[in-house]
A and B are shown apart, each in its own frame.
Chain A
Amino acid sequence: MTNNDKSAILSTREIADRGKAIYKAKWEEKLLKTSTGKFVAIDVRTGDASVADTSEEAIRTAEKKDPQGYFHLIRVGHKAAYAAGWYMSHAS
């Protein structure tokens, strides 16, 4: 997908896989040194990363940079962006 390809619709799985691949290749090493515990929104169209203290702030910043973007949210240094809790763990 290129920056001009605004009509392409990606599946949830594709967005997440692309986001994780971009994060690993481009951002993880750098952000682990500077931003552990912060949230990072990876724009899977542009490869850009928006880092913030909260998940909402990271997504709003990313959305301002690229209103057409699709994003994958990661928490730096954590297995996943959120903990699920008992109920959601057993419902999913």
Chain B
Amino acid sequence: MPHRIGKLDQGHPYIEITVSLDGKDGTGEKYTALIDTGYSGFVSLPLMAALKLGLQPHTTVQYELANGKVSDPVPMALAHACCCGDGFVSGLVGISEAPSVTVGMEFLRTCGKGLMVFSTGIVVVDEKEFLDSMKAAANALKEPPEPPGKAITAS
């Protein structure tokens, strides 16, 4: 099953991603991104990273913060991103003053990924393949076992 191994740093999950302006093969910049499952958006880049990539924001958005308040407006631009080694998907990239590159649930959904958290690290899996393999395993457990005493004859 295709998967990516990430790391836990002070309890926060991180994964390697690539962000590209045009989504063409071999383009873009690689980042170690924090996976924030409370963030409903796609990708958030620090201002300097966004400038280096050449993002051209034309949209503004506000976030509902964890304390229920609404953030100041944040500029956004269309761009492409992926887990390193996968194909690019497009989405809206926020440009923030936060120091870390962050990916949210929209990134996992658009890339078709699931996140598994363990005590020592994380694994990002292809969601469809993972769910299919879980269904196959569940179905295999439902099948009745071979009746006892059934002889296998050798010819």
Residues of A within 8 A of B (CB): 12-13, 15-16, 19, 41, 54-56, 59-60, 63, 69-73, 78-92
Contacts and interface: CB of A to CB of B under 8 A. Distances in A.
Interface stretch (B20-28, B65-73, B120-128): B65-73
Interface in B35-78: 36-42, 44, 57-68, 70-76, 78
A15 B73 contact: yes
Nearest to A10: B60
A92 B92 contact: no
Interface of B: 12, 34, 36-42, 44, 57-68, 70-76, 78, 90-92, 94, 96-100, 102, 104, 106
A84 B97 contact: no
A10 to B, nearest CB: 9
Contact of A59 (B59, B73, B94): B59
A91 B138 CA distance: 43
Contacts of B40: 82-83, 85
Closest 5 CB pairs of A and B: A85-B38, A16-B73, A91-B98, A85-B39, A84-B63
Contact of A88 (B44, B75, B106): B44
B60 A83 contact: no
Contacts of A69: 58
A85 B37 contact: yes
B47 to A, nearest CB: 11
Contacts of A78: 64
